[in-house]
Amino acid sequence: MDMQTAAGLVPLLGWAVHGGILTRRLATARRDPLTGLHTRAGWTARAEHLIRRHPTAAILLVDLDHFKALNDTHGHATGDAALVETANRLCTWCGHNGTAGRLGGDEFVAVVQELAAVDLDALTAALRQPLHHAGMSLPLAASVGVCRLNELAVPLLTDALAAADAAMYAAKGAKGRGRRSSRTSR
């Protein structure tokens, strides 16, 4: 290879490396560093794509019950373990039928292609399983709000999230928490 060709390739190689670094940074920014789930931005992009293709999709909001007490009593490492375990359980439940994300704190979100294809009782049961951490078995529970897009007047993700959020708070307000609720706006 002559010097002129080599000199022309150096900037191209630099741009290729720079592009690879930017791609990795963007992918990292769309993943929660603790749980590995999609962040709000990453999840939203995937959810909007999924709901365009599947009009029977459903949106779920999941909020851990009594998370602050768990974190304050047993420490932040235990709180982090609870978040990671919840993320794993939610991802396992979604499987290939949807995708999960972490909105922040102890709030999670999921979208599934077809609610009838998944077992909501299995999700609530999984979220109620104890957390085994540092030689302890600690209770976990979560409230789940569900919104089926085909029950909305206009199936928009923002409206579905608002309806799932209202349903999640209704479940949280129910005696005993650790419940699920469905709510749609007609």
**Long-range Cβ contact pairs of 181-184 (< 8 A, separation 24 or more):** 181/143, 181/144, 181/145, 181/146, 182/145, 182/146, 182/147, 182/148, 183/145, 183/146, 183/147, 184/147, 184/148, 184/151, 184/152
Q: CA 75 to CA 79: how far, in whole Å? A: 6
Strand partners, 112: 58, 98
Residue 85 belongs to what H/E stretch? helix 76-94
Sign of the alpha-carbon dihedral angle for 8, 9, 10, 16: positive
Q: CA 149 to CA 167: how far, in whole Å? A: 14
Which is catalytic among the residues 72, 106, 159, 165?
106
Sign of the alpha-carbon dihedral angle for 59, 61, 107, 70: negative
- Active-site residue, 65 included: no
Question: What positions carry a catalytic annotation?
Answer: 106
